[in-house]
Structure 1
């Protein structure tokens, strides 16, 4: 598994460990990370993204406590056996709900109509 799996934004208000946990939730829910798939080591992720290894370790531990990951002796962390390979579209959309609410609030604060916001979002998603 490649350490570039995660996209970390150091300037974000969201702590890095939470960014990692949220990405793990989405990657598992979408089926991009399959049950039993090994994650990159704490050291690899920390080195690749130039973050403190304790930050990555904290994220992995939280994901393990949530049941997303399991520790395999001598191998590292893997997607927990109890995870389904992919969630329904509704379940995956539910993971986006907080960000969609924030986007809607920001658009309203900027007094932007829905059409240009939706067109821009469509472009970002790669739709035509």
Structure 2
């Protein structure tokens, strides 16, 4: 389910957050589906339960999951259609990155090819 790079400079909890967001956005994890418990996932991945808890907390803050006391964590049904404010924020960040890439010499054609390639990867999952 998860491929973590323990040698990566990126913290493990961030890798977990990214992977779970990808699974939610691509609807591998369905709305209201229960996520593995912190303890179960920690044993499966052989990492500290606090790391899992931190990732779950971050996903909850971002609105991708919700928690029910004593029941566990679940995929937020509205995560797929994130609110307009979040979409606007992502577009602003993307615009900044595009402008920076253009400034550094990346061509429009290269950016378009990256978008097509990324979309193809999403469809292959």
TM-score by length of structure 1 reads 0.61
Detail structure 1 runs of 4+ shifted over 2 Å in the superposition: none
- Unpaired runs of 5+ in structure 1? 86-90, 106-113, 115-120
Structure 2 match to 1:23: 19
TM-score by length of structure 2 reads 0.63
Structure 2 match to 1:54: 50
Structure 2 match to 1:12: 8
Structure 1 match to 2:66: 70
SS across alignment from 1:37? coil
Structure 1 match to 2:35: 39
Separation (CA, whole Å) in 2 of partners of 1:6 and 1:76:
19
Separation (CA, whole Å) in 1 of partners of 2:70 and 2:77:
17
Deviations 1:2-52 (A, max 9, x none): xxx322221111100000100111111111111101101111111111111
Deviations 1:79-128 (A, max 9, x none): 0132227xxxxx9xx9xxx9xx9xxx9xxxxxxxx9xxxxxx9xxx7x9x
- Quote the RMSD (CA, aligned, Å): 3.3
Shift of residue 73, structure 1, vs aligned partner: 2.6
Separation (CA, whole Å) in 1 of partners of 2:73 and 2:17:
13
- Unpaired runs of 5+ in structure 2? 82-86, 102-109, 111-116
